[in-house]
Amino acid sequence: MPMAMAFNNLHVLTLFVSLVLSFLTTSISLADNNHAIVPTETICYSALNPSYCKFVLANQNGSLYDYCRISVRKSLSQSRKFMNKMYSYLQNPSSLSQPTIRALEDCQFLSELNFEYLSTTQDTVDKASDVLPTSQADDVHTLLSAVLTNQQTCLDGLQTSASDPRVKNDLSSQLSDITKLHGVSLYMFTKAWIPEKKISTSWQHHGGIQNDHLPLKISNKVRAIYDSARGHRRKLLQTMDGNESIVVSDIVVVSKDGSGNFTTINDAIAAAPNNTAATDGYFIIFITEGIYQEYVSIAKIKKFLMLIGDGINRTIITGDRNVVDGFTTFNSATFAVVGQGFVAMNITFRNTAGPSKHQAVAVRNGADMSTFYSCSFEGYQDTLYTHSLRQFYRECDIYGTVDFIFGNAAVVLQNCNMYPRLPDSGQFNAITAQGRTDPNQNTGISIQNATIKAAQDLAPIVGSVKTYLGRPWKEYSRTIYMQCFMDSLIAPAGWHEWSGNFALGTLYYAEYGNMGPGSNTANRVNWPGYHVIEATDAANFTLSNFLDGDDWVPQTSVPYQMSL
């Protein structure tokens, strides 16, 4: 090699190393001081979409905090414009098909939620100092994750349900850009205010502490104190052993025979106070035994409601909406809730559309810090839609076929029974289809201490139907099974692809400490995103660490286990 060429190559190499060291030094400096002025090229380097990140922050000069506030402000502005566009479309619905109207109604509903979530976020980041309290940072992280989920739900509904090409074309590109903008806001927030968490070892610290108190002695206790509780602002309702209690603002009874305060669940919900706080206590609606053919929707203003039934298969809420009959997946739900702090106990939720009607939701849950205890969810495809925000399920029964637990909430299902059913001809069963679209979202499905067995209709022919633990609905799908019993119906591969190689390297699927004939991992998929994990990693997906459950689950009186 000529000496001049060698010198030039050495010079280029030296320059390259210098640039790398400069970038690393800037990154380290950035981690140490979020107030440092930093070029957009540096801060956007590790964003999901670096070029769009730089476009959003073009001609700006500031710190991580400044960039976060700028992007959130832009997100809120675009959210307002999109919400107004939905109002405009739906003011003149006569030229639109019914499926398109339903998809736009979903988008309008979701855009209103996003405007509220982003308004809360902007208020928080504008007032925030260098450090946010952990609970407040987690709240905002959760809201920004849900904003992305809501945008994706709107886009999915338009693409699959809207039959007017003009509407699809007009909105799809706009939705794509807004989603990328919201992704920048989420990324900037995690960089500025979410610390780099060490691998958690709280499974050792908690030592298996849990609340094993039984919940309310439902029927006798509620009926006995009902008359005395009415007219009083606050009452303490004790659990069976008297060691735990919950604050109650009022109790009403729903009974089909007219012996209670209301004959329908929706009327009782309408009577509940609006925008209450946790300290005000729960508004309890006791639903007596019976089959309630109602489509129930609990709005965001109906906070801290507690619905208590007479028991699984005794208090039943049922419907049959589905996509084949013209509904979107989102609005096919028999029961839908977005009111914060919601609790349901001892109720069966059904969608009876059957396997041939495809997506048909029994429950859609977008309620933050919501809890379902001792409930049953019965459907076929898309039974339980864990849509968004933070959710906890304990000792519930869940029946379904294709993707029957799906969505993009941060959700823990603990001590639940999962019953794959007989699917439509030619279908296979997938228990989960998790929908995380951005690696910065704090979402995923964590399943702990579950029992997975075939339902009665599948059990006699279990060998003729493949059943899988899950498949990746979206690119960063995340699902974890921990300490579960898996019967022989689970296919040896464990997991199924969505479409070819889609998401196989970006998903995160994990198994830890499972048992039973279907739990053998020797022949599991060999995807880059699949893992058999140890206790230290599994601890990140416990109720305490994944949902910050210590802060809100105890007040519900529901049994729980915070650790492994």
- Active-site residues, by number, are 403
Q: Which two tokens stand for residue 522?
A: 């020797």
Nearest to 95 by CA among 155, 158, 163, 160: 163
Q: Is 159 helix (H, G, I), strand (E, B) or coil?
A: helix
Q: 442 near 411, Cβ under 8 Å?
A: no
> In angstroms, rounded to a whole number, what is the distance separating the alpha carbons of residues 488 and 462?
9
Query: How many Å is the Cα radius of gyration of the chain?
Result: 25
> In angstroms, rounded to a whole number, what is the distance separating the alpha carbons of residues 459 and 420?
9
For the beta carbon of residue 497, count every other beta carbon within 10 angstroms. 16
- Mapping DSSP onto H, E and C, the string for 377-427 reads EECCECCEEECCCEEEEECCEEEECEEEEEECCEEEEECCEEEECCCCCCC
For the beta carbon of residue 362, count every other beta carbon within 10 angstroms. 30
Label residue 425 left, alpha or beta by phi (over 0 means left) and psi (-120 to 50 means alpha): beta
> In angstroms, rounded to a whole number, what is the distance separating the alpha carbons of residues 409 and 146?
8
> In angstroms, rounded to a whole number, what is the distance separating the alpha carbons of residues 331 and 50?
35
> In angstroms, rounded to a whole number, what is the distance separating the alpha carbons of residues 471 and 530?
11
Beta-strand relationship, 290-292 and 315-319: parallel
Distances (CA, A) of 331 to 72, 177, 324, 431, 448: 29, 25, 12, 21, 29
Segment (H or E) for 470:
strand 467-470
> Cα(first)–Cα(last) distance of the chain, in Å?
62
> In angstroms, rounded to a whole number, what is the distance separating the alpha carbons of residues 556 and 211?
11
Phi/psi of residue 343, nearest 5 degrees: -135, 135
Q: 470 near 434, Cβ under 8 Å?
A: yes
Residue 452 burial (C-beta neighbours within 10 Å; 0-12, 13-18, 19+): buried
Phi/psi of residue 480, nearest 5 degrees: -130, 130
> In angstroms, rounded to a whole number, what is the distance separating the alpha carbons of residues 461 and 449?
26
